[in-house]
């Protein structure tokens, strides 16, 4: 974020909460390279991305950040949360632990 108001405009958008102007710019470039030139990704930020690309934006970040390779090493849910959010034991880590455990139980993982 480098303009006044970027924090609000480029706050979490989409189901996996893409955040920050740099990530929105990267997502815009990815979409454009794949045939979708949608400048509203940058001009309308979280509201447009959340309404139109709620899964695509998070999927793009997951791939761009190398999360697939990272997760191949079987990190804990806390380590994944730290990688995603930029600090160890990010906000709501207790809920992440709870829901991850619940999902693994349902999936018999």
Per-residue pLDDT tens over the stretch 2-34: 666 656 666 666 667 788 888 899 999 999 999
- Asked if residue 56 lies in contact with residue 24, where contact means CB atoms within 8 angstroms, the answer is no
User: What confidence category does residue 73 fall into, taking pLDDT thresholds of 50, 70 and 90?
Assistant: very high
User: What six digits make up the tokens of 33?
Assistant: 């390279």
pLDDT of residue 84: 84
- Residue-wise DSSP of 33-67: HTT---THHHHSHHHHHHHH-TTHHHHHHHHHTTH
pLDDT of residue 11: 65
Instruction: Indicate the burial class of 43 (C-beta count within 10 angstroms; 0-12, 13-18, 19 or more).
Output: exposed
pLDDT of residue 13: 67
pLDDT tens readout for residues 44-69: 988 899 999 999 999 999 999 999 99
> What would the mean pLDDT of 80-92 be, rounded to a whole number?
84
- Asked if residue 16 lies in contact with residue 58, where contact means CB atoms within 8 angstroms, the answer is yes
* Cα gap 88→38, rounded to integer Å: 34
């Amino acid at each position: 974020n480098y303009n006044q108001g970027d924090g609000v405009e480029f706050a979490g958008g989409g189901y996996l909460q893409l955040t920050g102007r740099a990530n929105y710019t990267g997502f815009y470039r990815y979409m454009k390279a794949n045939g979708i030139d949608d400048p509203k990704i940058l001009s309308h930020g979280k509201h447009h991305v959340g309404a139109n690309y709620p899964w695509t934006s998070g999927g793009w970040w997951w791939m761009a950040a190398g999360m697939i390779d990272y997760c191949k090493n079987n990190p804990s849910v806390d380590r994944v949360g730290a990688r995603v959010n930029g600090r160890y034991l990010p906000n709501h880590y207790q809920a992440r632990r709870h829901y991850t455990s619940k999902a693994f139980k349902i999936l018999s993982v």
